[in-house]
Chains A and B, each alone.
Chain A
Amino acid sequence: SCAGPVESKTEAAMSELVPEPRQKPVVPTKPMGINTSLLGYIGIDTIIEQMRKKTMKTGFDFNIMVVGQSGLGKSTLVNTLFKSQVSRKSSGWNREEKIPKTVEIKAIGHVIEEGGVKMKLTVIDTPGFGDQINNENCWEPIEKYINEQYEKFLKEEVNIARKKRIPDTRVHCCLYFISPTGHSLRPLDLEFMKHLSKVVNIIPVIAKADTMTLEEKTEFKQRVRKELEVNGIEFYPQKEFDEDLEDKTENDKIRQESMPFAVVGSDKEYQVNGKRVLGRKTPWGIIEVENLTHCEFALLRDFVIRTHLQDLKEVTHNIHYETYRAKRLNDNGGLPPMTVETEENHESNL
């Protein structure tokens, strides 16, 4: 019988897991449209307004994860980014909490509104990461959590009667906090980013950047970039997902010059030159968080929130999620046991 060659053909045909880089819209096979010259206003450009109105009405979800050793200012930074008490530390959790013995995943959600736009923001904290003596495989619970969210989405998507809007708990952005040692990335940093950059958008940031001078900062950033490159770690925005030349030019600049952003966070305000600014007060001066000459917080904020937020979500949905889905559906043509094992599950997955 021909079971042998057919099986490998199926494998070959169906096992291509890496999604293709985003292409321009596919040309339909029918004879292409005729370019009509328009005489007079039709009004099809109003679709922009129509779409905008609809999205304002539905609102947006955004799920951001912060990963890094304790004490690197993760919670403060997220609060600074969103100018409100959205992180775990501020939401009634015990500040004097002990560092957990294993990596924990703690998600907390809030609704924030600005200019008529409602956003359901979920901040996912990972206390315990990198804090043990033996940190082997401490990225695993994080990877598991991320995949669980893909799984949740997939389950709802394949329902027969499914929700109009599938609740999206998938991690859109993972801020990875690098310790400002000034030397190089630590093995844990590399290991984490190597594993996770394949399943989620990772944005590396250099934490507590106020401990480095400008020269030290520039050198450190260069070294970090080089190390990431040498280790084949593709952080967001990934080269292969640049949609067009414009994207590529813009993103190249960010990838090769700005990232990783060296940031400082603060939720305290001080008076500087007659203005109230967010800052950190030291005996030798006030570090203004949103001052670009002091640190790159404003760059990070603009990048993540003001220009690339929607793209972070789209890359998560169109690429990371699709990769997960394809892999999932390929294994045994069904689901590996991730849910409570029922009898059917168990048998079919043997």
Chain B
Amino acid sequence: SLVFQGEGYRTVPLSGHVGFDSLPDQLVNKSVNHGFCFNILCVGETGLGKSTLMDTLFNTKFEGDPASHSQPGVQLKSSTYDLQESNVNLKLTIVSTVGFGDQINKEDSYKPIVEFIDAQFEAYLQEELKIKRVLHNYHDTRIHACLYFIAPTGHSLKSLDLVTMKKLDSKVNIIPIIAKSDAISKSELTKFKIKITSELVSNGVQIYQFPTDDESVAEINGTMNAHLPFAVIGSTEELKIGNKMMKARQYPWGTVQVENEAHCDFVKLREMLIRVNMEDLREQTHTRHYELYRRCKLEEMGFKDTDPDSKPFSLQETYEAKRNEFLGELQKKEEAMRQMFVQRVKEKEAELKEAEKELHEKFDRLKKLHQDEKKKLEDKKKSLDDEVNAFKQRKTAAELLQSQAQQAGGSQTLKRDKERKK
């Protein structure tokens, strides 16, 4: 009994001020209360100034031990920071490659990076597929921008760069930058940029394009697109130039000012990355890169949308699969717990048996001891009894003799006395 008036929506005029023009503010206020997330991935060889550039971009010294380069393969180091500016709370995560390009065989160097990016998509997908989920409070770790650091050789891209960027371009917004660009002269830089751009195009590498559909930013973004890759310099050292303190690098032949657009493209990078397109980078990550990942993952798992009738089927299968997986996990855990329980019981039984055995032995020993003692005592008693008996006999005999002697000895004693008197 649902009736919709017409397909397309007619525009009707308002006869007065309604007040829904406050909607963007309402939405923005909610986002501000909630806080924002921004995640940057820095890919580049050791020594290209990745952490210095981050420090420079965000005007701060990000604490942290300098990465240990002792591990053999490519590692990814991630740190999260809380930044606050005006009423905006930004949870900034910076991920950097460690040891990228250090290996002799670099065939697999890109793999840890791809795996990391995919892992963040996977985590989000898992949350999205949960039955009871909290998406609006989820800490989004998906990479919004990948700064690819190109070594300032002045010649061309290395094959490692091309291979890596090709593997990443469908997964993340790539912004290529020429690192430590104060090593290249202005004229060489122009040639270098052209070479890089043409190599990227001929290899079909899709880098992030600053959006030109919104008229308010179309012009600036369009201009900036033409300046890619940005030639940057990073420095947190401040030097006095003129009567101002500026971020700069001092050489014997002059001072390179980081924020001087004639010296390098740092300001352009900051403008594009943070002040103009941060929201677009986040949106592209979610609506394009993540959707692609999700689609591929689900198709990999064997699901497809074919026609309207089969949609419930695929949904059911996904959840059935998840549910079975979950049940399987539970069963496994329960089995493991039961095994452990049985094991413990066995061990305890063995312990108790052991203890019982010991007790029995002890008892037997004591019993034997007791019997021995008893026997000894009995023997002693017997011998004492014998002694007593013997003594009694002797006593009786002695008494008898004595009484006999007394009878005969009254005369005997007299006789002895008489003999003595004589």
Binding site for B on A (CB under 8 A): 2, 5-6, 9-10, 14, 16-17, 19-20, 22-23, 25-26, 28, 30-48, 50-57, 60, 62, 81-86, 88, 91-92, 102-117, 119-120, 141, 145, 148, 155, 158-162, 164, 243-244, 278, 301-302, 305-311, 314, 318, 322, 325-326, 329-330, 333-335, 339-340, 342, 344-345, 348
Contacts and interface: CB of A to CB of B under 8 A. Distances in A.
Given A34-B63, A84-B15, A334-B319, A160 B23 contact: no
Nearest to A107: B4
A48 B32 contact: yes
B82 interface: yes
Contacts of B202: none
Q: 9 tightest CB-CB pairs across the interface, nearest first?
A: A115-B21, A334-B316, A50-B279, A310-B26, A33-B82, A43-B275, A306-B19, A45-B86, A33-B81
B276 interface: yes
Given A20-B134, A53-B214, A9 B330 contact: yes
A179 B345 CA distance: 71
A53 B216 contact: yes
Contacts of A305: 18-20, 22
Interface string B123-153: 0000000011111111101000000000000
Nearest to A18: B132
22 contacts: A2-B334, A10-B327, A33-B92, A34-B63, A36-B62, A50-B279, A52-B24, A82-B18, A84-B13, A84-B15, A86-B12, A102-B1, A103-B1, A110-B9, A110-B10, A114-B20, A115-B21, A309-B23, A333-B323, A334-B312, A334-B316, A342-B312
A120 B2 contact: no
Contacts of A85: 12
B80 A33 contact: yes
Interface stretch (B154-162, B291-299, B394-402): B291-299
Given A34-B82, A38-B60, 10 more contacts: A25-B139, A38-B83, A48-B88, A50-B277, A107-B5, A111-B11, A155-B311, A309-B23, A344-B312, A345-B312
B315 A44 contact: no
Number of chain B interface residues as a range = 35 or more
Interface of B: 1-6, 9-28, 30-36, 38, 57-60, 62-63, 78-88, 90-92, 131-139, 141, 214, 216-217, 270-271, 274-280, 283, 287, 291, 294-295, 298-299, 303-305, 308-316, 318-320, 323, 326-327, 330-331, 334-335
Contacts of B320: 333-334
A229 B413 CA distance: 134
Nearest to B132: A326
Max count, chain A CB within 10 A of own CB: residue among B18, B271, B310 = B18
A246 B313 CA distance: 45
A329 B287 contact: no
Contact of B17 (A42, A110, A114): A114
A84 B23 contact: no
A311 to B, nearest CB: 7
A81 B271 CA distance: 42
A45 B85 contact: yes
A160 B298 contact: yes
Given A40-B59, A160-B299, A335-B312, A117 B20 contact: yes
B131 A326 contact: yes
B245 to A, nearest CB: 10
Contacts of A105: 1-3
Contact of B10 (A50, A111, A161, A314): A111
Given A25-B34, A114-B20, A38 B319 contact: no
A158 B315 contact: yes
A117 B23 contact: yes
